[in-house]
Structure 1
Amino acid sequence: MEEVAQSTKTIFVLAGQSNMSGRGGVIKDSHNNQKLWDRVVPLECQPHPNILRLSAKLKWEPASEQIHADIDTKKACGVGPGMSFANAVRERITGVVGLVPCAVGGTAIKEWARGEELYENMVKRAKESVKDGGEIKGLLWFQGESDTSTQIEADAYQGNMEKLIENVREDLGLPSLPIIQVAIASGLDDNYMEKVREAQLNINLPNVVCVDAKGLDLKEDHLHLTTESQVKLGNMLADAYLKHFAASQ
């Protein structure tokens, strides 16, 4: 483990809300009606010695599914896009893929503003991730479902997201940090979902690309991606990183 930890790390910050932290395979327990993970790990999401995660205690450790379990602690975590992303990327880079999970379910973008706990924790974790070597090569962002409740929130989304990108780049000292955001596939209010999607698809900043989740299968709650969809999304995120950013880094 020490050898792995000291080798070259290509680090990715994972942030946003529940579809980033992962609800794939989360089901209701028939005995007590509590939600729990079915523990089904797709082939694309299997652990690998060259994939690490930064724990809630800021320690690097081998990554395996439920990578957000000690970060998004109020609800059951399952399969998200992180592990399939890491497995798809690791074959094309040298050294180790380091994942920094920061996503928390049910959070609106205003809760990710500079000075707010979620934002400051993300920046703290990102800075900690490079202390023993490695470089942050991207922020993967999947959030927005909680901003579809009202027209005011939806109308403000683009400005808030652009400010978040500006702030995180400044606070990490990475003015060209690649941002790969996901255009949402669901929302709390369908009336404003398209408004948020439009904002996400129209952000026109350098080194920002958007992967569209629309069309991926949702669970019965019509809000969260299925396990299969999370695997596909992770591969889509990896394709976007490798196409737009890997060669230039």
Structure 2
Amino acid sequence: MNLSDRIRLPTHCMRHFCVLTNFLRGPLPTPDLRLLRFAAIRNCRFVMFAVALVPILARAEKVNVFLIGGQSNADGRAAISGLPTELQAVQGDIAIHWATAGNGSSSLNQSGYSLLMPGFSNSSGSFGPEVTFGRAMADFYADRGEHVALIKHAQGGTGLETHWQAGGDATQDNDGFVYRLFQEVVDTGMTNIQSAFPPEGGGQIEVSIEGMIWMQGEKDSNTTESALHYQANLTEFIGDVRSTYGTELPFVLGQLSANQIGTGGGATNRELVRSAQGTVATALSATEMVVTDTFGLKADNLHFSASGQHDLGFAFASQMQSLLSATNDFKSASFDFGVSADGNAYEQAGWTLLELPQSGAPSPQLSAADASTGWTVMLETAKPDDLRGRNRDPLDATTGGTLTLDDVYIDFVTGLETLSINNLDPAKQYDVQLIMFDDNASDGRTQTVTNITDSASDLLGTGTGPGGGSSLTSDLDFSVFGTGLSPDSNGDLTFLFANSDTVDRSLVNGLIITEVESLASADFDGNEDVDGADLLTWQQGLGLAGQTDNTNGDANGDGDIDNADLIIWQNQYGTSPGTQSAFTVVPEPSSLALCIVVGMTLVYRRASSAEFG
């Protein structure tokens, strides 16, 4: 053991002692951890916690892994004491595999797998963006019942020109030695995470890398040569990361602060790197950038302070969530395929589901075509993981199918009587555009559609097809818009179609659904705080109809005070409407607790009726 190891060992042990103290005396966020603490205290088996703090998390169907890389500001040089008290403690719902090394080192000096807490930086007593980034991402996935795990390795004083040089492919050939070490840390971290989440009962828990955050560039601003090469080097690095960990992997980079005058190399080189970072973030898909100019710096004007790192982690999370919402925040639409008897098959091509005729190539059109050329379903953002009929498997009229969607344009054929959009947010509103047209009106058929209604039985439109023509433009019958539609308490929007034409494949229905900023507010007393007093207002108004404002508990403005308004209160609890943070921890009462609340409300209402009736 060399001198540096002897110096660092007590600090490392002290970290685990602090963790043990927090575990035994501090608040714990999950029943699993509280039960474990009770058992440990009762049996006096404290030593196993001091030897290894192993993440013990509730079961989940998926663990979303995020990578953290870069140089010293990704590793962290901010004092733990500058964090809010609650973030200085162990975060019991987030796992992290971490590894530290000296500046520009080809070997690690420490590594481990633990629950997330500050202190996993090369500089003793410091933290990086992982603390708040992990907190925000865990909250983001909490509603889905999914977990978050982090893998972190960053080294101070390292640049893209040499240390993080990318070979350009999924191998480590021609990669810089720090980048190779980073990949080894990721491999070890994934093994640890997968081992910590074994499937139960022969099932399978998905553990996948979902994104990467990157804070780097100070080193490359030291020389004009590396600053001039930064745009090309960063572009190649992101491409290499995606070749290794997933095409279109969401990547968020932090831009150098305009105030980092301690970077060396002067203002000109620093601006070259900053400009390159902005150009790359704009040019590459699935890439975003955090502007750090307002984040606090230490006295060295180089490293982010505690407040700066606090803000950096949250900003990384905000941009990452934006990327994930554009690609993975699925809504589902269920409907029946009305398939003609010609035996056409379906094939997934990229993000497109094609109906292929028995002979000939599929239509290149982006929307419906007549029966001789086939039709397409365009998925602009979602991954059609649940599509049936892929790999050219034939479908028939009874097979049906499911699409996942988010702001997606859909075309499908007749046979549809009910369209249900599921898993929407009951607290939000949606603009819906329904398009009706005849796919091959040149045969003279006349298509009549009546009674297009939403889930509240509100009539959205009616129309009759004009007939004649064969192109999409001339066959367009009408477009029906629904603005600010609110899903029911289950998150469903349902549209009903009455079709007077019995000819198969005569009607093609298009749908565009867009999430809009919700005006819903559970601040019923108008004091800019959603709290228990607002819940009492909802309880007292439950069952009322025909409301003109929300002072009686009508959060979504639909005129009725019902369970949908309670869900909005739950989602906004502890916030000020209109400024609700993406990182707010939302209370989620259990079904039993919810039943108790509703039950008490019903008892209260019965008592009131008896007293005043």
Q: Which has the higher helix share?
A: 1
| Cα contact 2:67–2:209 (8 A) shared by 1 | yes
| Cα contact 2:82–2:307 (8 A) shared by 1 | no
Aligned pairs for 1:91-130 (under 5 A) are 91-93=139-141, 94-110=145-161, 111-114=163-166, 115-130=175-190
The answer to whether the aligner puts 1:79 opposite 2:133 as a matched pair is: no
The answer to whether the aligner puts 1:10 opposite 2:61 as a matched pair is: no
Q: Which amino acid aligns with 1:220?
A: A
Per-residue deviation at 1:121?
1.9
Considering only CA atoms, is the larger Rg found in Structure 1 or Structure 2? 2
| Cα contact 1:44–1:87 (8 A) shared by 2 | no
User: Judging changes above 3 Å, is the alpha-carbon distance between structure 1 residues 240 and 193 closer, same or farther for their aligned structure 2 residues?
Assistant: same
The answer to whether the aligner puts 1:65 opposite 2:118 as a matched pair is: yes
Q: SS of the counterpart of 2:91?
A: coil
Map Cα deviations across residues 102-132 of structure 1 (whole Å, 9 max, x no partner): 1111111121013222111222222333341
1:32 paired residue number: none
Partners of 1:18 and 1:2 in 2: CA distance: 26
Per-residue deviation at 1:153?
1.0
Per-residue deviation at 1:160?
0.4
Per-residue deviation at 1:215?
2.3
Q: SS of the counterpart of 1:222?
A: coil
1:170 paired residue number: 243
Partners of 1:143 and 1:77 in 2: CA distance: 21
Q: Which amino acid aligns with 1:117?
A: F
Partners of 2:207 and 2:186 in 1: CA distance: 11
2:254 paired residue number: 182
Per-residue deviation at 1:24?
0.9
The answer to whether the aligner puts 1:42 opposite 2:119 as a matched pair is: no
Partners of 1:44 and 1:222 in 2: CA distance: 27
Per-residue deviation at 1:44?
6.2
Per-residue deviation at 1:39?
4.1
2:297 paired residue number: 218
The answer to whether the aligner puts 1:242 opposite 2:321 as a matched pair is: yes
The answer to whether the aligner puts 1:196 opposite 2:276 as a matched pair is: no
Partners of 2:98 and 2:224 in 1: CA distance: 37
| Cα contact 2:70–2:216 (8 A) shared by 1 | yes
Q: Which amino acid aligns with 2:207?
A: G
Q: Which amino acid aligns with 1:244?
A: L
Per-residue deviation at 1:171?
2.1
| Cα contact 1:20–1:80 (8 A) shared by 2 | yes
| Cα contact 1:44–1:83 (8 A) shared by 2 | no
Partners of 1:148 and 1:235 in 2: CA distance: 25
Per-residue deviation at 1:49?
1.1
Partners of 2:325 and 2:86 in 1: CA distance: 20
Q: SS of the counterpart of 1:225?
A: coil
1:88 paired residue number: 136
Map Cα deviations across residues 215-245 of structure 1 (whole Å, 9 max, x no partner): 2121110101110111111111111111221
User: Judging changes above 3 Å, is the alpha-carbon distance between structure 1 residues 13 and 2 closer, same or farther for their aligned structure 2 residues?
Assistant: closer
The answer to whether the aligner puts 1:51 opposite 2:102 as a matched pair is: no
* RMSD (CA atoms): 2.1
| Cα contact 2:55–2:114 (8 A) shared by 1 | no
User: Judging changes above 3 Å, is the alpha-carbon distance between structure 1 residues 50 and 152 closer, same or farther for their aligned structure 2 residues?
Assistant: same
Q: SS of the counterpart of 1:176?
A: coil
Q: Which amino acid aligns with 1:162?
A: T
Q: Which amino acid aligns with 2:127?
A: V
Q: Which amino acid aligns with 2:133?
A: F
Q: Which amino acid aligns with 2:234?
A: M
TM-score (norm. length: structure 1) = 0.85
Partners of 1:77 and 1:195 in 2: CA distance: 33
| Cα contact 1:123–1:168 (8 A) shared by 2 | no
Per-residue deviation at 1:3?
4.9
Per-residue deviation at 1:191?
2.7
Q: Which amino acid aligns with 1:63?
A: L
Q: Which amino acid aligns with 2:117?
A: S
Identify the match of residue 134 of structure 1 among 180, 183, 207.
207
Q: SS of the counterpart of 1:147?
A: helix
Map Cα deviations across residues 25-57 of structure 1 (whole Å, 9 max, x no partner): 2xxxxxxxxxxxx64442463421111111437
1:159 paired residue number: 232
* Aligned-pair identity (%): 26
Per-residue deviation at 1:14?
0.5
Partners of 1:155 and 1:101 in 2: CA distance: 28
The answer to whether the aligner puts 1:232 opposite 2:311 as a matched pair is: yes
Partners of 2:74 and 2:207 in 1: CA distance: 23
| Cα contact 1:10–1:135 (8 A) shared by 2 | yes
Per-residue deviation at 1:194?
0.8
| Cα contact 1:41–1:79 (8 A) shared by 2 | no
Q: SS of the counterpart of 1:237?
A: helix
Partners of 2:125 and 2:216 in 1: CA distance: 16
Q: SS of the counterpart of 1:134?
A: strand
Q: Which moved more, 1:149-158 or 1:53-62?
A: 53-62
Q: Which has the higher strand share?
A: 2
| Cα contact 1:5–1:60 (8 A) shared by 2 | no
User: Judging changes above 3 Å, is the alpha-carbon distance between structure 1 residues 77 and 18 closer, same or farther for their aligned structure 2 residues?
Assistant: farther
Partners of 1:154 and 1:235 in 2: CA distance: 28
Q: SS of the counterpart of 1:91?
A: helix
